[in-house]
Chains A and B, each alone.
Chain A
């Protein structure tokens, strides 16, 4: 499957003025290994977009380019129209790109509330002197941050446990806390890296509604990496499929479900391709 084969089938998304996040022709090579090969991709403002693909397709690598952990070998990333390629992760985060982690990375020995408040760091102003002298405006700022974090925890449904250490929360609550923490950055785009991993079907179903609620009430665009197809198909407005570092398909859930190459590359993992190999 070469690039020349791919391109006519999947036209690059037309650049519009209101892309919340846009990646142009991203190439990432680790030495001789090309992990992501010329992927162009966008998240429209207010959209819910999923990125799927079999293991090793380059999804997480691509994610890491967006958040600034890797600098792409070539290509550019734009966040709300501003270029963020190669900027430090904390700068990109401050500019409005928040993420959760595939394997939860909370600050375990901090309370739920403190976790959320850490993410407000870049939006708070107080420095050493104002904190030491506890200036009135520093106190007001802290107060506001406390209230905001409380609201966020209520919003994700774990207001009751705000004074618990993150490590003591149940798995589901930790996932929610990660979302609350990401939202505290007041992001334009929320990146969710396999958010339903480890959830049971019922929790996953609730999660779909939750993502919609986050999008609607917090005015964010959402980009998901997800393995659970039932979640992907129900939550996404658009799905992009990566395979071996290349974008092989893009479209609405129904298009993707019907797309032969996707079935072959991804869903075929359990059936078609294995069968072919056996022949």
Chain B
């Protein structure tokens, strides 16, 4: 026990760096927007309002939640899901149904805003709705997954793509004209959505009992809390029995099943966990934009997938960074850069309309030069950078003998060895 303690402690410390950094960044951003920005000079205010508006920052956090959710499915279990937007849509509409006056026929109030005590509709506290929507989406994940997850890679991708198309369509056509009763508002939005109750925190100075449309920095904190929950759950699951099974499935499905892993159950649970996060993110989205409209499309699924791939599949922190970059570029960065460029060079190019072109180019460049993503799992980096040892040995090179010699000569300079293997890999690739 004592012999194994030190490395464990070191690992604990190392693994705390990212969570602490995440928390610190959230607090700093909050302080910046809440306390510092309102008192700062006009130029700063203008710059921030142009490039980093608080509403955009909040939406970026929601994209982060989505990306973390998809990472469980794509990054951990290696299942290609092209219809993740389905869970986003379900979550958003669950949020809208349970936190608005949409179902005016009933008066259900559970911890909703006290000001709406007499109002018709279902008004349930945001905190309950977030959990409920997650569970509801997880249930749908299981329902959708049960028949489809028996399929393998490409077929699975196609079927998920189908569900990703169907579900937003259901919401788009869920009005009284098509359904006979108004499940949704058709192409229009369900508005308005209740604020976020702050409970005991409303005692603090400056905190409203209900976080409304203008309490953006506080909402930012709430969304970050949801994101943190998703990160926490991801990391915990990843290290446990289920996480190992997911990884094993990603590595070798057949071998995993021969080792007693029930493929369907393991895949379903990854799908359900991913859907849970998607549902939570969906509710946050409904609150953030203040309504639920059926403008979900395949593009959203692809964008989330891109965040995961760009950030580094399987590594939560990488995925967060990927999501922040992509969503910021999408929501603010590109249009601001376009304005700046057009002003500077007196042109009239509509930059935001080229976003997928730009992301396409970035993806191609990534695949050429950094296939493993910006911040990959250490294990993924391995496979992308070095050929496997047995693979090299079958080439006829007597690596083992060479390594032993190297060890004698270089002793601790393992780095050199690494470079050596890498070049071998490259030349191999060149020959092939």
**Residues of chain A whose beta carbon lies under 8 Å from any beta carbon of chain B:** 67, 69, 88-91, 93-94, 98-99, 101, 104-110, 114, 117-119, 121-124, 126-128, 131-132, 134, 138, 141-142, 145, 165, 167-171, 174, 181-182, 184-185
B261 nearest CB neighbor, chain A only:
A121
Residue B206 lies at the interface, judged by CB distance under 8 Å to chain A:
no
A107 touches B255 (CB 8 A): yes
Residues of A within 8 A of B269 (CB): 128
* Cβ-closest 4 pairs across A and B: A122-B260, A131-B240, A107-B251, A93-B260
A119 touches B236 (CB 8 A): no
**Complex alpha-carbon distance, A122 and B380, angstroms:** 26
Residues of A within 8 A of B243 (CB): 131
A167 touches B389 (CB 8 A): yes
Residues of B within 8 A of A127 (CB): 242
Shortest distance in angstroms between B255's beta carbon and chain A's nearest beta carbon?
4
Residues of B within 8 A of A105 (CB): 252, 254-255
**Complex alpha-carbon distance, A182 and B269, angstroms:** 24
**Complex alpha-carbon distance, A118 and B244, angstroms:** 6
A171 touches B393 (CB 8 A): yes
- Binary interface encoding of chain B residues 217-250 relative to chain A, with 1 for a CB under 8 A from any of its CBs, else 0: 0000000000000001100110011111101100
Shortest distance in angstroms between A122's beta carbon and chain B's nearest beta carbon?
3
Residues of B within 8 A of A118 (CB): 244-245, 247-248, 256, 259, 261
Instruction: Tell me if B's interface is mostly helix, strand, loop or mixed.
Output: helix
Residue B257 lies at the interface, judged by CB distance under 8 Å to chain A:
yes
A95 nearest CB neighbor, chain B only:
B260
Given contacts A90-B260, A108-B388, A121-B244, contact A132 B251 (CB under 8 A): no
Given contacts A107-B252, A131-B241, contact A169 B258 (CB under 8 A): no
How many chain B residues touch A (CB < 8 A): the figure is 35
B244 touches A110 (CB 8 A): yes
B388 nearest CB neighbor, chain A only:
A167
**Complex alpha-carbon distance, A99 and B254, angstroms:** 12
Shortest distance in angstroms between A111's beta carbon and chain B's nearest beta carbon?
9
A93 touches B258 (CB 8 A): yes
Shortest distance in angstroms between A208's beta carbon and chain B's nearest beta carbon?
23
Residue B205 lies at the interface, judged by CB distance under 8 Å to chain A:
no
Shortest distance in angstroms between B72's beta carbon and chain A's nearest beta carbon?
11
A90 touches B261 (CB 8 A): yes
Residues of B within 8 A of A106 (CB): 252, 255
List 25 A-B pairs, Cβ < 8 Å: A88-B257, A89-B257, A90-B261, A93-B260, A94-B260, A108-B251, A108-B383, A108-B388, A109-B379, A117-B244, A118-B248, A121-B241, A121-B260, A122-B261, A124-B241, A127-B242, A134-B236, A141-B241, A142-B241, A165-B382, A167-B390, A168-B389, A170-B400, A171-B390, A184-B259
